[in-house]
Amino acid sequence: MTLHLSFAVWLPLAFGVAGLLAPPRLAPKLALAGTLLVLGYAIAYVIDFDSANAGLQHVTDEIWIGELGIHYKLALDGLNLFLVLLTAILWFFCTLWASFGAWEKPRLFYFHLALAQTSVLGALLAQDLALFVVFFDLMLVPFFFLTGIWGGAKRVHATMKLVIYTLVGSLLMLTAAIATGVLAATGEDGLSFAFSDLAQRTIESSTQNWLFLAFAAAFLVKMPAFPFHGWMPDGYKAMPLPVLALFSAVLSKVAAYGFLRICLPLFPDASEHFQTLMLLIALFSILYGSAMAFTTTHARLILGYSSIAQLGFIVLGIFALNSQGAQGAMLQAFNHGLVVAPAFFIVALLSARADGSEDIRDMGGLGMRAPVLATFFLIVTFATLAMPGSSNFVGEFLILLGVFQTKLAIALIASTGVVLAAVYALRLYIRTMHNRTGPRVESRELSLRDGLVLVPLVLAILAIAVYPQFALQRSEPTVTSIVPSALEEKAAAAPLPEASP
């Protein structure tokens, strides 16, 4: 069975362009068909995946720009497999969700949505540094338009802020990427940006440091992490909700994935050198995000700040620099994406029942009259707060286990984040589902149509909660191979979590 990755990457765009040319009423249908096909592809990749293989699978390798040593190289491995699956799942359901609403200029809307999926998949699958940068920067273009054209109040201001923040990081990354390629090139081999070539060439430690910082800046802004989140509140308030769900659930993961794909393997010395700094940033993100999440009353921002905290956990796991931490980070990236998208969907449902308000003070008392909705929300809430039994619990457990082995103090403080998560997640649940019924709240049960989106996503959460090894097992060989080997030896004493069922 040949499963060319190029198909998966370019299919959404092809359908998007077709939608642009078709009559407006066909646009959502075409977009759905495209995302459904990609979902089918992604499931086929997961089934076809050889979990014993730590290397690249389904490799497509062509020379794109020979003069600059840029390859068009796509491949799957344990690092990106589940993020690709996550992207495919969420894009399908968010497109479905979006198709419930009526958008102005629908053809353009679905075109940008499709372009976004193509660029995200491209960034995840790229096995060439320059190609990664191309797709990573390209992700921003559709979101710029999606926010700026179809966003809420003050959308232009918010869009500009979002784009300028993230592009400043991206452009730094561009310089660093070029410098990496040029500085790693040796006389005889010539310029190459392929990860496999770069990993074999060594870069001086002192150079690694500034390259690492440039990449880290780009990724931390995109996530966002604590001191780099200035664009987040405005951006989150302005984006249309289906777009926001994708942005929060998938794009932030691409940034986290960038750390694992680029920073750790290519700049191992710098990763160790800046380990404490990165762990502290992660720690502050957890504490700051949690604190903000249980003080703000805007439902979107609660989820936004909780994402900052959750991504703090992911960074924490990555910079534990051992395989437990990295495994936990991978799993948690998948989990968080799977949890936050339905959470945004529920916010949309709640807001529709509270006369359009997204302030939790205007909500409340829905639980009694809409028990099914409340049940689903409870499951999502429990997953968010990493209730034992959920996959998030396994993820956070692995992350903290990894950090305990390297930096005990940080791990101790970070573990309070688990408690804080319970506070803000339950607060959101209680304020919306219990309490006194809001003055303008109109309680309605989950409609069948909305169930089409919510039920499969919740089922996915449950599935991964029951059987997280499914993901861990497939990512383990690759994750182990990218963790810096020096620390790996130190950590080798601790047994890996049993991966086989």
Binding site for another protein (CB under 8 A): 65-68, 105, 108, 130, 133-135, 137-138, 140-141, 144-145, 148-149, 155-156, 159-160, 163-164, 167-168, 171-172, 174-175, 178-179, 181-183, 191
CB of 179 or CB of 430, closer to another protein? 179
Q: Angle at which helices 408-433 and 391-406 pack, to 10 degrees? A: 160
Burial of residue 160, with CB atoms counted within 10 A of its CB: 0-12 exposed, 13-18 middle, 19 or more buried: middle
CB of 64 to another protein, least distance (A): 8
CB of 138 or CB of 378, closer to another protein? 138
CB of 109 or CB of 397, closer to another protein? 109
| Cα 298 versus chain centre, distance | 22
CB of 175 or CB of 295, closer to another protein? 175
Closest by Cα among 344, 335, 139 to 241: 344
The rounded distance, in Å, linking the Cα atoms of 368 and 371 is 6
CA distances (Å), origin 475, targets 50, 219, 468? 10, 21, 11
CB of 45 or CB of 132, closer to another protein? 132
Side-chain half-sphere of 139: how many Cα atoms within 13 Å?
28
CB of 12 to another protein, least distance (A): 15
CB of 56 or CB of 133, closer to another protein? 133
CB of 145 to another protein, least distance (A): 6
Side-chain half-sphere of 5: how many Cα atoms within 13 Å?
27
CB of 13 to another protein, least distance (A): 10
CB of 262 to another protein, least distance (A): 17
CB of 482 to another protein, least distance (A): 25
Which ranges in 354-447 belong to alpha helices (H)?
A: 371-384, 391-406, 408-433
Contact yes or no for 144/97 (Cβ under 8 A): no
CB of 316 to another protein, least distance (A): 29
Closest by Cα among 45, 115, 31 to 77: 45
Contact yes or no for 312/284 (Cβ under 8 A): yes
Instruction: For residue 262, give every residue at least 6 positions away whose Cβ sits within 8 Å of its Cβ, in sequence order, or none.
Output: 129, 132, 195, 215
Contact yes or no for 487/409 (Cβ under 8 A): no
CB of 70 to another protein, least distance (A): 8
CB of 182 or CB of 412, closer to another protein? 182
The rounded distance, in Å, linking the Cα atoms of 257 and 267 is 15
Structure tokens at 119: 């660029």
CB of 13 or CB of 37, closer to another protein? 13
CA dihedral 71, 72, 76, 79 (to 10 degrees): 60
CB of 137 or CB of 396, closer to another protein? 137
Residue with token string 């068909």: 33
Determine the 3-state secondary structure of 194 from DSSP. strand
CB of 67 to another protein, least distance (A): 5
Side-chain half-sphere of 498: how many Cα atoms within 13 Å?
3
CB of 140 or CB of 491, closer to another protein? 140
CB of 164 to another protein, least distance (A): 6
